[in-house]
Chains A and B, each alone.
Chain A
Amino acid sequence: MAKILIILENSKGKFVGLTKECLTVVQKLAGDLNADVEGIVLGHGINELAQEAGKYGVKKIYKVDDAEFSGINILYHTRTIEALIKEIDPTLVIAGASLYGQELVPRLAARFDKAMFASVNNLSIDDDEYEGIHPLFEEKLFVTMEGSAEELTFATILGGNNPEAEPDDNLSAEVVDFSPVIEDSDKRESFVEETIAKVSVDITKAKLLVSGGRGVGSGEKFAVIRDTAKALGGEVGASRAAVDAGWVAYDHEIGQTGKTVTPDFYIAAGISGAIQHLVGMRNSKTIIVVNTDEEAPIVEIAHFAIIGDLHEVLPELAKQL
């Protein structure tokens, strides 16, 4: 029976959201290809996590649980997954197009001398061909990628296009230990440390978001975003620049490395509209921009834009409503 291998990305003892979206794609493919889903999970102290993957329809989990994997080293991951692919011979190797997936999977594909479905919205099967759609020019055009389903195939799935798979407590998986494979040359990369912010507030359910970026100016001035959000009965959002500057917590970050939101109203103040931000909010129902620069790219995707200083416009907005 054909096998699909999913790379189960995890962080802080949990599967990342994108891995669950990818599981939805994989469940559908498994049906269409009549294939078994197998997964690899790499890390340290990940026993429970490995068990949990079974609830998402993964039949067999290869668990690489080793102190060398407490921090991510892409060369270790590549080598170990390469060894597993050679052992179990899957027809498809798939992961989320997270920053990790985008670094790992093309490298892995190249190791097997394969091109890949790079950052596709979805992966489906039509006769004996895979098909995936990849955005070009920051989503101004889309290209269909095609490849034979008979060959070993690699794919990464973009976030925000598929619902997260729901766990089913009646399902479980066989968990197998898989030994890490590390060669001397892989030690050319070594993990030093990482900071990952905790998430405690969930802004994804808010109907209205007031979101601030670098244009707000300072941590103190960021109060105008909080005040406006409060006055309008919404939540606070932010660009990565505002989060990096320490003006607001990571919980509020919107975009590729933050949350994806689709509120009724999204007010973007002092945010230029880098594609990494847009992918997290462009499906909001009504987008209102406040920016001093009429040419800011975010204006292109907005429904309404006020060209002006957010420190004057936002208080006025709170006042008039």
Chain B
Amino acid sequence: MNILVFVKATIDRNAPLDPDEIFPGDRDDKSDVMTNNYDKNAIEAALRIIEEKGEGKVTAVCLGSDMADKVVKEAIAMGCHGAIRIENSKAEVTHFFSVAKILAAAAKKIGEYDLLLFGMQSYDYGTATMAPMVSEFLDLPLACWVEKVAFTNGKVVVDKVIEGGIRKVEIQMPAVLSIASSGDFEEPRYTSVRRIMKASKTEVPVWEIADLGIEEKKPSVEFDDIEEPPARTEKCIVFDDGDANELVGELIGALKEKGLNLGAYK
């Protein structure tokens, strides 16, 4: 079983955001970069599938600048057998439509795969378009928001999240899956400092976009201005000191001060 898992480097959740620097490649500080959270669920799924099968190989694939080295190495430290980074210096290619074409072309170049796993969404873009677009460009069947997988003769049977429940579908491999943040792969494994040290010594091949043979096409929908929502004026008032009786007393007092009556609906 050959699995490709697509991982993205995004700006760390705890780092301040600047509308002019939304790509890790735009920033100077490498510590601001993290693995897109949901991609760890995808890595977890890939590793578990291989472990259960007792054979196979997981390759992490990432389009990003050298800032993303940290991310592919984390994937290796978690247990991926190899990784490929596609150079996107200074974030030249940023549109999801173009990214999907590049990732599909990279998969083609790798050639051998049974499953292509994606995180269910990226933290920065969050368009959730990558898995469906790549599956279309490669003409592969697809299931999104997968919580559980099982295998029967060349097919993968998945449980996917739907509104109000779960849908089970059976799809022929090779196939594309996006992995849910909930369900069997909810808790990605931790990796140790030792493994990260070891992974950081691994050579990760770097591919050039130009070698992937993609025909350039201007996306039909483009990004324009990036803006911040109106800032919230009040910060959360936190009560953390005292027993339940005191904490609740303080809360009720604070509500009263703001003219709010939690007891009004009894």
> B residues within 8 A CB of A99?
144-145, 160-163
Encoded as 1 (CB less than 8 Å from any B CB) or 0, chain A from 108 to 151 comes to 01110111111100000000001000111111111111111001
Contact of A106 with B248 in the complex, beta carbons under 8 Å: no
Q: Residues of B contacting A136 with CB < 8 Å? A: 22, 124-126, 226
Contact partners of B135 in chain A: CB under 8 A: 107
Query: Contact partner of A192 among B144, B168, B227, B239, CB < 8 A?
Result: B168
B213-266 contacts to A, CB under 8 A, are 217, 219-229, 234, 236-240, 243-245, 247-249, 251-252, 254-255, 260, 262-263, 265-266
A119 partner residues in chain B, CB cutoff 8 A: 126-128
Say yes or no for B113: interface residue by CB 8 A criterion: no
A303 touching B237 in the complex, CB below 8 Å, given contacts A115-B96, A145-B224, A195-B165:
yes
Residue contact B266 to A233, C-beta cutoff 8 Å: yes
Q: Is the C-beta of A241 less than 8 angstroms from some C-beta in chain B? A: yes
A residues in contact with B217, CB < 8 Å: 113
Q: Are B169 and A73 in contact (CB under 8 A)?
A: yes
**Alpha-carbon distance between A130 and B222 when the two chains are bound, in angstroms:** 10
A196 and B162 contact, Cβ closer than 8 Å, known pairs A137-B124, A303-B237, A304-B236: yes
Q: Is A200 engaged at the interface, CB distance under 8 Å to the other chain?
A: no
For the complex, is B157 an interface residue (Cβ under 8 Å from A)?
Answer: yes
Contact present for A232 and B238 (CB under 8 Å): no
Nearest B residue to A241, CB-CB = B182
Would you call B56 an interface residue if the criterion is a C-beta within 8 Å of the partner chain's C-beta atoms? no
Is B110 an interface residue, CB under 8 A from the partner?
A: no
Residues of A within 8 A of B251 (CB): 288, 304, 306, 317
B contact residues around A231 at 8 Å (CB): 266
Would you call B188 an interface residue if the criterion is a C-beta within 8 Å of the partner chain's C-beta atoms?
no
Q: How far is the CA of A156 from the CA of B245 in the complex (A)?
A: 48
Q: Is A312 an interface residue (CB 8 A)?
A: yes
Q: Is B1 an interface residue (CB 8 A)?
A: no
Query: Is B161 touching A257 in the complex (CB atoms < 8 A)?
Result: yes
Report the minimal beta-carbon distance from B251 to chain A, rounded to whole angstroms.
6
Q: List the A residue with the shortest CB-CB distance to B186.
A: A241
Check A313–B244 contact: CB distance below 8 A.
yes
Q: Quote the shortest CB–CB distance from B24 to chain A (angstroms).
A: 13
In contact, A305 and B141 (Cβ under 8 angstroms): no
B145 surroundings in chain A (CB, below 8 A): 99
Contact B171 A188 (CB under 8 A): yes
- Give the total of B residues in contact with A, Cβ under 8 Å: 76
Residues from 126 to 140 in B contacting A, C-beta threshold 8 Å:
126-129, 132-133, 135-137, 139
CB-nearest residue of chain B relative to A110?
Answer: B136
Interface membership of chain A positions 237-259, coded 1 if the CB is closer than 8 angstroms to chain B and 0 otherwise:
00011001000001001000110
CB of A308 closer than 8 Å to a CB of B:
yes
**When the two chains form their complex, are residues A144 and B225 in contact, meaning their CB atoms are under 8 A apart?**
yes
Q: A115-B95, A313-B244 in contact; A188/B172 too (CB < 8 A)? A: yes
Choose the segment among A40-48, A50-58, A294-302 that binds chain B (4+ C-beta atoms closer than 8 Å): A294-302
The distance in angstroms between the C-alpha atoms of A100 and B229, with both chains bound, is 28
Chain A residues whose CB sits within 8 angstroms of the CB of B129 once the complex forms: 102, 106, 116, 118
Residue A316, interface by CB 8 Å: yes
Nearest B residue (CB) for A139: B229
Contact status A137-B123, CB under 8 Å: yes
B54 located at the interface, meaning its Cβ lies under 8 Å from any Cβ of chain A in the complex: no
Instruction: Give which listed residue, A107, A142, A233, contacts B132 with CB less than 8 A.
Output: A107
B-side interface residues toward A, CB under 8 Å?
A: 11, 17, 19, 22, 95-97, 100, 123-129, 132-133, 135-137, 139, 141-145, 157, 160-172, 175, 181-182, 217, 219-229, 234, 236-240, 243-245, 247-249, 251-252, 254-255, 260, 262-263, 265-266
Q: Which A residues have a C-beta under 8 Å from some C-beta of B?
A: 11, 16, 71-75, 98-100, 102-107, 109-111, 113-119, 130, 134-148, 151, 153, 185, 188-197, 199, 207-208, 231-234, 240-241, 244, 250, 253, 257-258, 265, 274, 276, 286, 288-289, 294, 299-309, 312-313, 315-317, 320-321
